[in-house]
Amino acid sequence: MTDISRRTFMASSAAAAVGPMILPSGVLAANGKPGANDKLVIGHIGTGGMGTGHLKFTTSRKDVSVAAVCDVDKGHLASAIDLTGGKAEGYSDFRRVLDRKDIDAVIIATPDHWHGIMAVAACEAGKDVYCEKPSSKTIEEGLAMMKAVKQHGTVMQIGSQGRSTEGGRMACSYIRNGQLGKVNRVECWHTENPVGGDWSKNQPAPPELDWDMWLGPAKWVPYNPDRVHFNFRWFMDFGAGNIRDRGAHILNVASWCLDLDKKNPVRITAEGGPPETGMYDCPPKLTITYEFKDPELTIVWAQPGKKPEGIDHDYGAVYHGDKDSLIVRGGDGGCHTEEKAMKYVPPADGYHAFESPGHHQNWFDCIKSRELPLMNIEAAHRIATMCILGEIAIRIQRPIEWDGDKQTIVGDEHAKLLLASPGRGQWHM
Protein backbone atom coordinates (compact mmCIF):
# COMPACT_ATOMS: atom_id res chain seq x y z
CA MET A 1 0.00 0.00 0.00
CA THR A 2 1.07 3.52 -0.70
CA ASP A 3 0.20 6.18 1.85
CA ILE A 4 0.01 9.70 0.43
CA SER A 5 -0.27 12.84 2.53
CA ARG A 6 -1.25 16.32 1.32
CA ARG A 7 2.39 17.26 0.92
CA THR A 8 3.91 13.98 -0.11
CA PHE A 9 3.14 11.66 -2.96
CA MET A 10 4.79 8.38 -3.80
CA ALA A 11 3.54 6.70 -6.96
CA SER A 12 2.39 3.11 -6.66
CA SER A 13 4.23 0.51 -8.69
CA ALA A 14 2.33 -1.71 -11.08
CA ALA A 15 1.22 -5.01 -9.65
CA ALA A 16 -0.54 -8.15 -10.69
CA ALA A 17 -4.21 -7.87 -11.65
CA VAL A 18 -6.64 -8.13 -8.78
CA GLY A 19 -8.08 -11.59 -8.21
CA PRO A 20 -11.25 -12.64 -6.39
CA MET A 21 -11.36 -11.54 -2.76
CA ILE A 22 -13.57 -12.78 0.07
CA LEU A 23 -14.70 -10.16 2.54
CA PRO A 24 -13.76 -11.07 6.10
CA SER A 25 -16.39 -11.57 8.75
CA GLY A 26 -17.45 -8.28 10.33
CA VAL A 27 -16.78 -6.05 7.34
CA LEU A 28 -20.34 -6.61 6.15
CA ALA A 29 -22.87 -8.24 8.43
CA ALA A 30 -24.68 -11.36 7.25
CA ASN A 31 -27.78 -9.40 6.21
CA GLY A 32 -25.69 -7.05 4.10
CA LYS A 33 -25.59 -4.16 6.55
CA PRO A 34 -22.27 -2.44 7.24
CA GLY A 35 -20.31 -3.93 10.06
CA ALA A 36 -18.44 -1.97 12.70
CA ASN A 37 -20.26 1.19 13.87
CA ASP A 38 -22.89 0.71 11.12
CA LYS A 39 -20.76 2.82 8.79
CA LEU A 40 -20.29 2.07 5.13
CA VAL A 41 -16.56 2.25 4.32
CA ILE A 42 -16.01 3.70 0.84
CA GLY A 43 -13.11 4.26 -1.55
CA HIS A 44 -13.28 6.87 -4.31
CA ILE A 45 -11.59 6.12 -7.65
CA GLY A 46 -11.30 9.23 -9.82
CA THR A 47 -11.67 12.44 -7.82
CA GLY A 48 -11.79 15.25 -10.39
CA GLY A 49 -14.97 16.63 -11.93
CA MET A 50 -17.95 14.48 -10.91
CA GLY A 51 -15.60 12.61 -8.57
CA THR A 52 -15.28 15.77 -6.48
CA GLY A 53 -19.05 16.03 -6.25
CA HIS A 54 -19.36 12.42 -5.09
CA LEU A 55 -16.63 12.98 -2.52
CA LYS A 56 -18.26 16.10 -1.12
CA PHE A 57 -21.48 14.15 -0.72
CA THR A 58 -20.01 11.11 1.02
CA THR A 59 -17.81 13.15 3.36
CA SER A 60 -20.91 15.06 4.49
CA ARG A 61 -22.60 11.90 5.76
CA LYS A 62 -22.31 10.49 9.26
CA ASP A 63 -23.11 6.93 8.14
CA VAL A 64 -20.24 6.81 5.63
CA SER A 65 -16.50 6.64 6.19
CA VAL A 66 -14.25 7.59 3.27
CA ALA A 67 -11.15 5.48 3.80
CA ALA A 68 -9.37 5.85 0.46
CA VAL A 69 -9.15 8.17 -2.53
CA CYS A 70 -7.40 7.42 -5.80
CA ASP A 71 -6.37 9.55 -8.76
CA VAL A 72 -3.54 9.56 -11.30
CA ASP A 73 -3.32 13.35 -11.05
CA LYS A 74 -1.42 14.42 -7.92
CA GLY A 75 -3.27 17.74 -7.80
CA HIS A 76 -6.66 16.04 -7.84
CA LEU A 77 -5.45 13.54 -5.26
CA ALA A 78 -4.16 16.19 -2.87
CA SER A 79 -7.46 18.08 -3.10
CA ALA A 80 -9.38 14.87 -2.47
CA ILE A 81 -7.36 14.10 0.66
CA ASP A 82 -8.04 17.64 1.87
CA LEU A 83 -11.79 17.13 1.37
CA THR A 84 -11.64 14.18 3.77
CA GLY A 85 -9.88 16.31 6.35
CA GLY A 86 -6.72 14.31 5.78
CA LYS A 87 -8.39 11.13 7.03
CA ALA A 88 -8.38 9.13 3.80
CA GLU A 89 -5.31 7.41 2.40
CA GLY A 90 -4.37 8.38 -1.15
CA TYR A 91 -3.43 6.07 -4.01
CA SER A 92 -2.38 6.44 -7.61
CA ASP A 93 -3.30 2.85 -8.54
CA PHE A 94 -6.95 1.80 -8.14
CA ARG A 95 -5.90 -1.80 -7.46
CA ARG A 96 -4.44 -0.73 -4.12
CA VAL A 97 -7.90 0.52 -3.11
CA LEU A 98 -9.46 -2.79 -4.11
CA ASP A 99 -6.79 -4.67 -2.14
CA ARG A 100 -8.08 -3.19 1.11
CA LYS A 101 -10.30 -5.63 2.98
CA ASP A 102 -11.85 -2.89 5.12
CA ILE A 103 -13.50 -1.15 2.16
CA ASP A 104 -17.10 -2.18 1.50
CA ALA A 105 -17.77 -0.23 -1.69
CA VAL A 106 -16.20 2.05 -4.28
CA ILE A 107 -17.37 5.01 -6.33
CA ILE A 108 -15.82 5.08 -9.80
CA ALA A 109 -15.77 8.51 -11.50
CA THR A 110 -12.97 8.16 -14.05
CA PRO A 111 -13.17 8.89 -17.81
CA ASP A 112 -15.39 6.41 -19.68
CA HIS A 113 -12.64 4.21 -21.06
CA TRP A 114 -11.78 2.98 -17.54
CA HIS A 115 -15.31 2.15 -16.29
CA GLY A 116 -15.57 -1.46 -17.47
CA ILE A 117 -12.20 -2.73 -16.27
CA MET A 118 -12.41 -1.00 -12.90
CA ALA A 119 -16.00 -2.06 -12.22
CA VAL A 120 -15.32 -5.71 -13.03
CA ALA A 121 -12.17 -5.68 -10.87
CA ALA A 122 -14.17 -4.16 -8.01
CA CYS A 123 -16.78 -6.92 -8.28
CA GLU A 124 -14.03 -9.53 -8.21
CA ALA A 125 -12.61 -7.87 -5.10
CA GLY A 126 -15.97 -8.16 -3.31
CA LYS A 127 -16.86 -4.47 -3.42
CA ASP A 128 -20.23 -2.94 -4.14
CA VAL A 129 -19.99 -0.32 -6.89
CA TYR A 130 -21.36 3.07 -7.85
CA CYS A 131 -20.03 3.76 -11.37
CA GLU A 132 -20.46 6.94 -13.33
CA LYS A 133 -22.31 6.83 -16.60
CA PRO A 134 -22.03 5.64 -19.27
CA SER A 135 -21.61 2.22 -17.70
CA SER A 136 -19.15 1.15 -20.39
CA LYS A 137 -17.30 2.21 -23.49
CA THR A 138 -17.95 -1.03 -25.41
CA ILE A 139 -20.65 -3.72 -25.56
CA GLU A 140 -18.06 -6.28 -24.48
CA GLU A 141 -17.35 -4.33 -21.30
CA GLY A 142 -21.04 -3.96 -20.47
CA LEU A 143 -21.64 -7.70 -20.84
CA ALA A 144 -18.61 -8.38 -18.62
CA MET A 145 -20.00 -6.00 -15.99
CA MET A 146 -23.37 -7.78 -15.97
CA LYS A 147 -21.65 -11.14 -15.65
CA ALA A 148 -19.45 -9.92 -12.79
CA VAL A 149 -22.40 -8.46 -10.88
CA LYS A 150 -24.30 -11.73 -11.18
CA GLN A 151 -21.32 -13.92 -10.33
CA HIS A 152 -20.21 -11.94 -7.28
CA GLY A 153 -23.57 -10.67 -5.99
CA THR A 154 -22.52 -7.04 -6.34
CA VAL A 155 -24.87 -4.14 -5.78
CA MET A 156 -23.98 -1.83 -8.67
CA GLN A 157 -25.62 1.53 -9.26
CA ILE A 158 -24.85 3.52 -12.44
CA GLY A 159 -24.82 7.31 -12.20
CA SER A 160 -27.67 8.08 -14.62
CA GLN A 161 -29.62 9.81 -11.88
CA GLY A 162 -32.65 10.99 -13.86
CA ARG A 163 -34.70 8.15 -12.36
CA SER A 164 -34.03 9.57 -8.91
CA THR A 165 -35.55 12.97 -9.74
CA GLU A 166 -39.11 14.13 -9.12
CA GLY A 167 -39.46 15.28 -12.73
CA GLY A 168 -38.34 11.92 -14.09
CA ARG A 169 -40.63 10.02 -11.75
CA MET A 170 -43.72 12.08 -12.55
CA ALA A 171 -43.07 11.91 -16.30
CA CYS A 172 -42.71 8.14 -16.01
CA SER A 173 -45.99 7.70 -14.13
CA TYR A 174 -47.79 10.05 -16.52
CA ILE A 175 -46.63 8.28 -19.66
CA ARG A 176 -46.90 4.71 -18.35
CA ASN A 177 -50.51 5.35 -17.34
CA GLY A 178 -51.42 6.16 -20.93
CA GLN A 179 -51.85 9.92 -20.71
CA LEU A 180 -50.14 10.35 -24.08
CA GLY A 181 -51.80 7.31 -25.63
CA LYS A 182 -49.45 5.12 -27.64
CA VAL A 183 -46.05 6.82 -27.85
CA ASN A 184 -44.56 6.28 -31.30
CA ARG A 185 -41.80 8.89 -31.47
CA VAL A 186 -39.36 10.57 -29.10
CA GLU A 187 -37.31 13.52 -30.33
CA CYS A 188 -34.24 14.35 -28.24
CA TRP A 189 -32.47 17.67 -28.64
CA HIS A 190 -29.00 18.68 -27.47
CA THR A 191 -26.45 21.38 -28.18
CA GLU A 192 -23.65 20.58 -30.64
CA ASN A 193 -20.36 19.00 -29.63
CA PRO A 194 -17.66 21.70 -29.42
CA VAL A 195 -14.89 22.21 -31.96
CA GLY A 196 -11.43 22.83 -30.56
CA GLY A 197 -8.12 21.48 -29.34
CA ASP A 198 -4.64 22.39 -30.53
CA TRP A 199 -2.32 19.69 -31.96
CA SER A 200 0.72 21.92 -31.39
CA LYS A 201 0.32 21.44 -27.64
CA ASN A 202 1.50 17.80 -27.80
CA GLN A 203 4.23 17.57 -25.16
CA PRO A 204 5.63 15.40 -22.37
CA ALA A 205 3.11 14.88 -19.58
CA PRO A 206 3.60 17.08 -16.51
CA PRO A 207 5.22 15.34 -13.52
CA GLU A 208 2.00 15.43 -11.49
CA LEU A 209 0.14 13.26 -14.02
CA ASP A 210 0.71 9.56 -14.70
CA TRP A 211 -0.16 9.74 -18.39
CA ASP A 212 0.30 6.03 -19.09
CA MET A 213 -2.11 5.15 -16.28
CA TRP A 214 -4.56 7.83 -17.41
CA LEU A 215 -4.65 6.22 -20.86
CA GLY A 216 -4.91 2.71 -19.41
CA PRO A 217 -6.74 0.49 -21.94
CA ALA A 218 -7.04 3.23 -24.58
CA LYS A 219 -4.64 3.36 -27.50
CA TRP A 220 -1.51 5.38 -26.83
CA VAL A 221 -1.48 9.02 -27.93
CA PRO A 222 0.87 11.79 -26.84
CA TYR A 223 -0.09 13.91 -23.87
CA ASN A 224 -1.84 17.14 -24.72
CA PRO A 225 -3.57 19.39 -22.17
CA ASP A 226 -6.50 19.65 -24.57
CA ARG A 227 -7.11 15.89 -24.24
CA VAL A 228 -7.30 15.48 -20.50
CA HIS A 229 -9.77 15.95 -17.68
CA PHE A 230 -13.14 17.13 -19.00
CA ASN A 231 -11.77 17.50 -22.55
CA PHE A 232 -11.61 13.70 -22.86
CA ARG A 233 -15.31 13.93 -23.67
CA TRP A 234 -14.65 15.31 -27.17
CA PHE A 235 -12.54 12.39 -28.46
CA MET A 236 -14.18 9.30 -29.94
CA ASP A 237 -11.71 6.94 -28.27
CA PHE A 238 -12.36 8.36 -24.79
CA GLY A 239 -15.78 10.01 -24.44
CA ALA A 240 -17.44 10.08 -27.91
CA GLY A 241 -19.20 13.38 -27.26
CA ASN A 242 -22.63 14.16 -25.89
CA ILE A 243 -24.29 10.98 -27.15
CA ARG A 244 -22.40 8.95 -24.53
CA ASP A 245 -22.47 11.74 -21.95
CA ARG A 246 -25.94 13.26 -21.83
CA GLY A 247 -27.30 10.44 -23.99
CA ALA A 248 -26.81 8.21 -20.96
CA HIS A 249 -29.19 10.57 -19.12
CA ILE A 250 -31.83 11.48 -21.68
CA LEU A 251 -32.14 7.98 -23.17
CA ASN A 252 -32.19 6.59 -19.64
CA VAL A 253 -35.30 8.59 -18.75
CA ALA A 254 -36.88 7.62 -22.08
CA SER A 255 -36.23 3.94 -21.41
CA TRP A 256 -37.86 4.23 -17.98
CA CYS A 257 -40.87 6.21 -19.19
CA LEU A 258 -41.51 3.81 -22.08
CA ASP A 259 -40.67 0.56 -20.25
CA LEU A 260 -37.80 -0.24 -22.64
CA ASP A 261 -35.27 -1.62 -20.15
CA LYS A 262 -35.60 -5.08 -21.69
CA LYS A 263 -36.21 -3.90 -25.26
CA ASN A 264 -33.73 -3.23 -28.05
CA PRO A 265 -33.64 -1.09 -31.18
CA VAL A 266 -33.39 -3.15 -34.35
CA ARG A 267 -31.90 -0.52 -36.65
CA ILE A 268 -29.65 2.46 -35.98
CA THR A 269 -28.71 5.10 -38.54
CA ALA A 270 -26.54 8.17 -38.07
CA GLU A 271 -25.67 11.33 -39.93
CA GLY A 272 -22.71 13.53 -39.05
CA GLY A 273 -19.03 13.92 -39.75
CA PRO A 274 -15.89 15.02 -37.91
CA PRO A 275 -15.13 18.72 -37.52
CA GLU A 276 -13.12 20.42 -40.24
CA THR A 277 -10.78 22.14 -37.80
CA GLY A 278 -9.29 21.53 -34.39
CA MET A 279 -8.19 18.44 -32.52
CA TYR A 280 -11.50 17.10 -31.23
CA ASP A 281 -12.89 14.37 -33.49
CA CYS A 282 -16.54 14.12 -32.38
CA PRO A 283 -19.05 15.36 -34.99
CA PRO A 284 -20.31 18.82 -33.97
CA LYS A 285 -23.68 18.13 -35.57
CA LEU A 286 -25.25 14.71 -35.73
CA THR A 287 -28.54 12.86 -35.93
CA ILE A 288 -28.99 9.30 -34.72
CA THR A 289 -32.23 7.41 -35.34
CA TYR A 290 -33.18 4.32 -33.33
CA GLU A 291 -35.97 2.12 -34.70
CA PHE A 292 -37.81 -0.34 -32.44
CA LYS A 293 -40.22 -3.04 -33.64
CA ASP A 294 -41.62 -4.19 -30.30
CA PRO A 295 -43.06 -1.68 -29.61
CA GLU A 296 -43.24 0.25 -32.88
CA LEU A 297 -41.23 3.29 -31.90
CA THR A 298 -38.64 5.73 -33.24
CA ILE A 299 -36.25 7.65 -31.00
CA VAL A 300 -34.24 10.43 -32.62
CA TRP A 301 -31.15 11.98 -31.04
CA ALA A 302 -30.32 15.32 -32.72
CA GLN A 303 -27.52 17.82 -32.16
CA PRO A 304 -28.52 20.58 -32.15
CA GLY A 305 -32.07 19.33 -32.65
CA LYS A 306 -35.20 21.42 -32.42
CA LYS A 307 -36.10 22.90 -29.04
CA PRO A 308 -39.81 23.01 -28.27
CA GLU A 309 -41.30 26.48 -28.43
CA GLY A 310 -40.77 28.42 -25.22
CA ILE A 311 -38.09 26.06 -23.89
CA ASP A 312 -34.60 27.46 -23.28
CA HIS A 313 -33.03 24.30 -21.80
CA ASP A 314 -30.01 23.02 -23.77
CA TYR A 315 -31.19 19.40 -23.85
CA GLY A 316 -34.20 17.21 -23.34
CA ALA A 317 -36.81 15.19 -25.21
CA VAL A 318 -40.36 15.45 -26.55
CA TYR A 319 -42.55 12.35 -26.28
CA HIS A 320 -45.19 12.15 -29.03
CA GLY A 321 -48.22 9.94 -28.48
CA ASP A 322 -51.40 9.48 -30.48
CA LYS A 323 -53.34 11.44 -27.80
CA ASP A 324 -50.88 14.08 -26.57
CA SER A 325 -47.21 14.98 -26.20
CA LEU A 326 -44.95 15.71 -23.21
CA ILE A 327 -41.72 17.67 -22.84
CA VAL A 328 -39.04 16.43 -20.45
CA ARG A 329 -36.18 18.89 -19.96
CA GLY A 330 -32.75 17.70 -18.89
CA GLY A 331 -32.54 14.07 -17.87
CA ASP A 332 -29.71 14.05 -15.34
CA GLY A 333 -29.95 15.41 -11.80
CA GLY A 334 -31.83 18.38 -13.23
CA CYS A 335 -34.79 16.61 -14.83
CA HIS A 336 -38.04 18.55 -15.22
CA THR A 337 -41.33 18.00 -16.99
CA GLU A 338 -44.53 19.86 -17.74
CA GLU A 339 -46.99 20.94 -15.05
CA LYS A 340 -49.68 18.54 -16.31
CA ALA A 341 -47.41 15.61 -15.46
CA MET A 342 -46.20 17.09 -12.18
CA LYS A 343 -49.80 17.48 -10.97
CA TYR A 344 -50.95 14.07 -12.23
CA VAL A 345 -52.12 11.55 -9.62
CA PRO A 346 -51.97 7.94 -10.87
CA PRO A 347 -55.00 5.79 -10.14
CA ALA A 348 -54.69 3.41 -7.19
CA ASP A 349 -54.46 0.44 -9.55
CA GLY A 350 -52.24 2.28 -12.05
CA TYR A 351 -48.48 2.41 -12.46
CA HIS A 352 -46.64 4.25 -9.69
CA ALA A 353 -43.00 4.98 -10.55
CA PHE A 354 -40.55 4.29 -7.73
CA GLU A 355 -39.97 7.33 -5.54
CA SER A 356 -36.23 7.40 -5.02
CA PRO A 357 -34.77 8.70 -1.77
CA GLY A 358 -31.87 10.03 -3.86
CA HIS A 359 -29.51 8.23 -6.22
CA HIS A 360 -26.74 7.66 -3.69
CA GLN A 361 -29.22 6.84 -0.94
CA ASN A 362 -30.93 4.26 -3.14
CA TRP A 363 -27.52 2.62 -3.59
CA PHE A 364 -26.81 2.75 0.15
CA ASP A 365 -30.23 1.23 0.90
CA CYS A 366 -29.68 -1.57 -1.60
CA ILE A 367 -26.24 -2.34 -0.17
CA LYS A 368 -28.02 -3.08 3.10
CA SER A 369 -31.00 -4.93 1.60
CA ARG A 370 -29.09 -6.55 -1.32
CA GLU A 371 -31.93 -5.53 -3.65
CA LEU A 372 -31.48 -4.22 -7.20
CA PRO A 373 -30.81 -0.46 -7.29
CA LEU A 374 -32.91 1.81 -9.48
CA MET A 375 -30.21 2.16 -12.15
CA ASN A 376 -28.87 -1.38 -12.03
CA ILE A 377 -26.30 -2.61 -14.52
CA GLU A 378 -28.74 -4.49 -16.75
CA ALA A 379 -30.87 -1.38 -17.31
CA ALA A 380 -27.76 0.79 -17.64
CA HIS A 381 -26.21 -1.57 -20.19
CA ARG A 382 -29.27 -1.23 -22.42
CA ILE A 383 -28.86 2.56 -22.32
CA ALA A 384 -25.10 2.39 -22.89
CA THR A 385 -25.75 0.03 -25.80
CA MET A 386 -27.88 2.65 -27.53
CA CYS A 387 -25.17 5.26 -27.03
CA ILE A 388 -22.42 2.91 -28.24
CA LEU A 389 -24.36 1.76 -31.31
CA GLY A 390 -25.00 5.39 -32.22
CA GLU A 391 -21.27 6.03 -31.94
CA ILE A 392 -20.50 2.99 -34.14
CA ALA A 393 -23.00 4.12 -36.76
CA ILE A 394 -21.25 7.49 -36.84
CA ARG A 395 -17.87 5.83 -37.28
CA ILE A 396 -18.86 3.47 -40.10
CA GLN A 397 -21.28 5.91 -41.80
CA ARG A 398 -23.86 3.24 -42.58
CA PRO A 399 -26.91 1.74 -40.83
CA ILE A 400 -26.59 -0.95 -38.17
CA GLU A 401 -28.94 -3.90 -37.81
CA TRP A 402 -28.93 -4.97 -34.14
CA ASP A 403 -29.87 -8.30 -32.58
CA GLY A 404 -30.43 -7.40 -28.94
CA ASP A 405 -31.03 -10.97 -27.81
CA LYS A 406 -27.64 -12.05 -29.12
CA GLN A 407 -26.02 -8.66 -28.44
CA THR A 408 -24.46 -8.48 -31.87
CA ILE A 409 -24.55 -6.56 -35.14
CA VAL A 410 -26.19 -8.47 -37.97
CA GLY A 411 -24.65 -8.76 -41.44
CA ASP A 412 -21.68 -6.43 -41.00
CA GLU A 413 -18.49 -8.17 -39.90
CA HIS A 414 -16.44 -4.98 -39.95
CA ALA A 415 -18.89 -3.15 -37.69
CA LYS A 416 -18.83 -6.12 -35.28
CA LEU A 417 -15.17 -5.41 -34.60
CA LEU A 418 -16.21 -2.19 -32.85
CA LEU A 419 -18.28 -4.03 -30.23
CA ALA A 420 -15.09 -4.73 -28.30
CA SER A 421 -11.71 -3.15 -27.76
CA PRO A 422 -8.36 -4.96 -27.71
CA GLY A 423 -7.21 -2.79 -24.82
CA ARG A 424 -3.56 -1.92 -24.35
CA GLY A 425 -0.86 -3.87 -22.58
CA GLN A 426 -2.17 -5.40 -19.36
CA TRP A 427 -5.43 -3.43 -19.54
CA HIS A 428 -8.03 -5.48 -21.35
CA MET A 429 -11.13 -7.57 -20.69
**Residues 9-47: tens digit of each pLDDT:** 333 333 333 333 333 333 344 345 454 458 999 999 999
Proportion of the chain above pLDDT 70, given as a percent: 91
Q: For position 205, what pLDDT does the model report?
A: 98
Task: Kindly write down the DSSP assignment for every residue of 71-117, as one continuous string.
Answer: -SBHHHHHHHHHHTTT-SEEESSHHHHHH-TT--EEEE-S-GGGHHH
Lowest average pLDDT, out of 20-24, 205-209, 262-266, 295-299, goes to 20-24
Looking at residue 103, its amino acid is: I
Amino acid at 6: R
Backbone angles phi, psi at 278, to 5 degrees: 85, 180
425 belongs to a structural domain:
no
230, part of any domain: yes
Is pLDDT of 7 > 50?
no
Number of domains the chain contains? 1
Residue 245 confidence (pLDDT):
94
Residue 173 in any domain: the answer is yes
- pLDDT 10s digits, 361-409: 999 999 999 999 999 999 999 999 999 999 999 999 999 999 999 999 9
| pLDDT score for 153 | 98
pTM: 0.90
Parallel, antiparallel or unpaired: strands 267-271 and 400-403:
antiparallel
Q: Stretch 139-148: mean pLDDT, rounded?
A: 98
Query: Is 40 contained in some domain?
Result: no
* pLDDT of 1 higher than 50: no
Residue 43 belongs to a domain: no
What pLDDT does residue 37 have?
54
* Residue 201 backbone zone (phi > 0: left; psi -120 to 50: alpha; other: beta): alpha
pLDDT tier, 429 (very low <50, low <70, confident <90, very high otherwise): confident
DSSP-based three-state secondary structure for 179: coil
Percent of the chain with pLDDT over 90: 90
CA atoms within 13 A on the CB side of 257: 40
Local confidence band at 115 (pLDDT 50, 70, 90 cut-offs): very high
Give the domain extent around 215. 163-355+377-419
pLDDT tens, position by position, 146-171: 999 999 999 999 999 999 999 999 99
Measured distance CA(343)–CA(351) in Å, rounded: 15
**What is the tens place of the pLDDT at every residue in 53-106?**
999 999 999 999 999 999 999 999 999 999 999 999 999 999 999 999 999 999
Radius of gyration of the chain (CA): 21
* CATH number of the domain to which 223 belongs: 3.30.360.10
Supply φ then ψ for residue 260, to 5 degrees. -105, 10
pLDDT of the residue at 201: 97
Q: Give Cβ neighbours of residue 359 (< 8 Å, ≥ 6 apart).
A: 157, 159, 161, 163, 164, 333, 374, 375
Average pLDDT for the chain: 92
> How far is the C-alpha of 317 from the C-alpha of 320, rounded, in Å?
10
Q: Which helix (H) or strand (E) holds 301?
A: strand 296-303
